[in-house]
Amino acid sequence: MNKLTLAIIFVVASIFTSCTGNSNKSAKDSTNMSSFGANTDGNTLLGAGSSFVYPLFSRLFAEYNKRTGIKVNYQSIGSGGGILQLTNKTIDFGDSDAPLNADQEKKMGAPVLHIPMCSGAVVISYNIPDFKGKLKLDPDVLANIFLGKVKKWNDPQISKINPGLNLPDVAIFVAHRADGSGTTNIFTGYLSKISNEWNTKVGQGTAVNWPAGLGGKGNEGVSGLIKQTPGGIGYIELAYAIQNGMPFADLKNKSGNYITPTVASTSASSNIQIPADAKVSLSNTDAKDGYPISGFTWALIYKEQSYNERPKDRAEKVVKLLWWNVHEGQKYCKDLNYAQLSPAAVIVAEKILKSATYNGKPILQ
């Protein structure tokens, strides 16, 4: 039995243990959130969703609490989980790295607003034994790796764009998200744009039928798979990769430039016209200096805030929190490796928040 086989067995065992623990955590989170109406005091707001934005939200909500005394309990359970909790009306706001699709909007039963909070990059992290240097990948090679067609790190397709670097004869192990994830939506949306084969066979979504690899829950699960498996590769959020000291590849963009994912290159990708509903894809940007796998994360709230006999005061607190996020809160983005909203995106976010109502009347005057 070779080292790679042993490593994969170990990782599978770790995933099983981790998933068991996460299942218990999710059940606990759901139980806590289901008590929304009875056990939440008027000074604590509840949110849930994207793990992509969790590091930023943790900072924002701590700062907001210092300034206002209002607490925000945000559960990092993935975009899909946040959408489900908002559908069930057990939280004040959700957060998703993918806009609601038609089926999700129908299940909501009422219009939902998408308010952009920031943008972030999805990076390709790797664990290549004895590899020294900066890995470069182009769109074709990246798609072929995740399609399971490129199976070794010393494959000629990879070596050709990484001349002079020591790429070992080691099997590639693909790691991906196992849970419903907006990060997955951004990544698969990009692959669908640059690969006809991917678009036809797999497509875009918060969850897809992966042609290769094993899944982990959240950024944490995917990172664990990459770290524990020699030859591992997967997609994670930029801030998470930097905070955990994980290497990531430069990626060739639409203009033919190899771009290192940074706050600046992520910001460059959003230099586009933002539609009135803020539902826009930033991946495979036309910007020459833009990193190609990036996207917004959106806070989600019901347009009409008087549902379930919610008090007006609570609705006002939710809208004012999100208004603060897209204004004063933006200064905390850069240090945490998120890209601030562009001036155009802020204007759109303001208009969306001003459209929120209570008993049909605007909450923000």
Give the pair of three-digit tokens for residue 32.
């806590």
CA neighbours closer than 13 Å in the CB half-sphere of residue 214: 23
pLDDT at 40 (0 to 100): 61
Task: Measure the CA angle with vertex 18, ends 13 and 23; round to 5°.
Answer: 130
14-18 long-range contacts (CB < 8 A, ≥24 apart) are: 14/224, 14/228, 15/178, 15/214, 15/215, 15/216, 15/221, 15/224, 15/225, 18/216, 18/217, 18/221, 18/224
Regions of the chain short of the pLDDT cut 70:
1-40
Are 4 and 171 in contact by the 8 Å Cβ rule? The answer is: yes
pLDDT at 4 (0 to 100): 46
DSSP 321: H
* CATH superfamily membership of 121-269: Periplasmic binding protein-like II (3.40.190.10)
Residue type, position 146, single letter: F
Q: Helix H segments across 195-342? A: 196-201, 218-228, 238-243, 263-269, 312-325
DSSP 165: S
Residue ranges, comma separated, of all CATH 3.40.190.10 domains in the chain are: 19-117+296-362, 121-269
Number of helices followed by number of strands (H, E) in the chain: 14, 13
Kindly report the average pLDDT of the chain as a whole number.
89
CATH architecture of 19-117+296-362: 3-Layer(aba) Sandwich (3.40)
182-194 helix and 139-146 helix, angle to the nearest 10 degrees:
120
pLDDT at 218 (0 to 100): 84
Task: Measure the CA angle with vertex 32, ends 26 and 37; round to 5°.
Answer: 140
pTM of the model as a whole? 0.76
Cα separation, 28 vs 50, in Å, equals 18
Question: 241 by DSSP, 3-state: which?
Answer: helix
